[in-house]
Amino acid sequence: MPVSRLLKTLVLFLCLGTVAVAAGRSPAQIDQIQKDISNKVYCTCGCATTLARCPDPHCPVKAEMDKIIRTDLEQGKTEQAVLQDLVDHYGEKVLAAPPPKGFNLTAWILPSVGLLIGLFLAILVVRRWRRPALQAAGPASSATPPVDDNVRSAVEEEMKKFMD
């Protein structure tokens, strides 16, 4: 059997297996997944909240979206496939968080990059502040006898009280 056919069979087997497992979900499991999905998508009625939080119990858009999710889950689709189905119906704006691809990646990366740059700058500032102090200390300080740790702690405590 050629490799490509083997792979195709394997993929088909996996897909069927996934559907079979998904189709075997209990109603409680479907409820839970539906709830999870409802927190990951926005209701497009204009309420500007996630589907789970749409304030109008008779909202026709919410009812339609709920129906799509339910039907998909009962057909055994995975959570990812249901989300894709919703994107196909309503556009990418239906997702409560931008998918991490293309330009959307910047939404996810920038806070972490900012955090790292901030850390780098903070370390840089501390080092810059520190250097002249060390230089000022110079060899004279190395000649001073070591201070007993107990004395140092007592002085620190006093200093802390004084400075606060």
Partner 1 sequence: MNQVGAVGLIAALAFAFYGMVTGAVAGKLRSPRMLKSAQRAVLGFFAMTTLAVVSLEYLVLTDNFHSAYVAEHSSRALPLLYKFPVLWSGQEGSLLFWTWLLSIYVGVAVLLNRRKNRQLMPYVIAISLGVGTFFSLVTFWVANPFNQLSLATATGTTPYAPPDGNGLNPALQFHSMVAHPPMLYLGYVGFAIPFAFAMSALMTRQLGDNWIRVTRRWTMVPWMLLGTGIVLGGQWAYHVLGWGGYWAWDPVENASLLPWLAGTAFLHSVMIQEKRGMLKVWNMVLIILTFFLSIFGTFLTRSGIISSVHAFAKSDIGPWFSVFLAIIAAFSLTVLFLRLDFLKSDNRLDSIVSRESGFLFNNWILLAAVLAVLWGTIFPIVSKAVENVTVTVGPPFFNKVMIPIGLLLLFLTGAGPLLAWRKTSFQSIKRNFTVPLVFGGVAGIFLFFFVGVHGFYTLMSLSLCAFVAASIVGEFYKGARTRMKTSKEHFFPAVYNLTMRNTRRYGGYIVHFGIVLLFVGVAGQAFRFETQKLMGPGDLLQARNYLFRFEGMTTGQKANYEYETVSLAVTKNGHAWTVMHPQKRFFIASQQPLSHVALRSNLAEDVYVVMAGRDPNTGKAIIHVIINPLVQWVWIGGMVVLLGTILALIPSRVEREMAQIHKNQEEAVEAHHAS
Contact residues toward partner 1 (CB under 8 A) are 39-40, 42, 46-50, 52-53, 55-58, 91-98, 102-104, 107-108, 110-111, 114-115, 118-119, 121-122, 125-126, 129-130, 132-133, 136, 149, 152-153, 156-157, 159-161, 163-164
User: In the complex with partner 1, which residue's Cβ is closer, 17 or 55?
Assistant: 55
Integer Cα distance of 82 and 69 in angstroms: 6
CA separation for the pair 87, 68 (Å, rounded): 11
Residue nearer to partner 1 on the CB measure, 78 or 104 = 104
C-beta of 2: minimal distance to partner 1 in Å?
A: 41
- Name the one residue in this structure whose structure tokens are 């972490």: 112
**Nearer CB in complex with partner 1: 1/129:** 129
Task: Identify which of residues 19 and 96 has a Cβ nearer to partner 1 in the complex.
Answer: 96
Round to whole Å and give the CA distance between 62 and 68: 10
Handedness of CA 45, 50, 54, 59 (dihedral sign): positive
Q: Which two tokens stand for residue 3?
A: 């490799």
Measured distance CA(2)–CA(38) in Å, rounded: 43
Query: Shortest Cβ distance from residue 144 to partner 1 (Å)?
Result: 15
CB 44, min distance to partner 1, A: 10
**Smallest separation, CB 141 to partner 1 (Å):** 11
Instruction: Give residue for tokens 């990646």.
Output: 105
